[in-house]
Amino acid sequence: MVQTDSIWVKVDLKSSPEKVYGFFRNHLGDLVDLFPETYQSIQLVEGQHFSSGSVVQFKFQFGDELRAEKWAIRVVDDVKKYIIYEAVEGDPLKEFKVLRAKFEVVNGGLSKVRRGNFTKWTVEFEKANQNVASPQNYLELFVKISKGVDAYFSNN
């Protein structure tokens, strides 16, 4: 029996949810400029722009190792403001039969107590074997880049 599991995290936003979503939708390659200590390169290797069906190659520092991974963009929903990526080549497939990341931006509106805008990252995975840890390290990376993109738009 195949067991797919998932983990998720929310990151509160100070900046505009539309700007943050627009960044991940249209300017994903700019992560190299915002996080030069993490990303060496981000290249579109298949498809048109960063749209559904495209494949993106990431070269980045992941813990103590430099990784090259290809992720396909499976779904882009501009109305609901979410994007689903799936690992299709590289190190993640040594540990996982399936590894998907869903990035979504939620515009929770304003209240007197707090703003309700946030990003939510959900990582869905199927381990290659029982000895593999859950992909918590990917969530940590996604939190880092969400906070950095939010800070960029909050300050500009």
The pLDDT assigned to 156 comes to: 76
Indicate the pTM of the whole model. 0.91
Q: What residue segments make up the domains of the chain, in order of their start? A: 5-30+74-155
pLDDT reading at 114 higher than 60: no
Average pLDDT over residues 82-111: 92
Q: What are phi and psi of 17, to 5 degrees?
A: -60, -35
Tell me the per-residue pLDDT of 39-74, one tens digit each, with 9 for 90 and over: 999 999 999 888 999 999 999 999 899 999 999 999
What's the fold here for domain 5-30+74-155? Alpha-D-Glucose-1,6-Bisphosphate; Chain A, domain 4 (3.30.530)
Q: Which of 100, 127, 110, 130 is nearest to 8 (CA)?
A: 100
The pLDDT assigned to 50 comes to: 85
pLDDT reading at 3 higher than 90: no
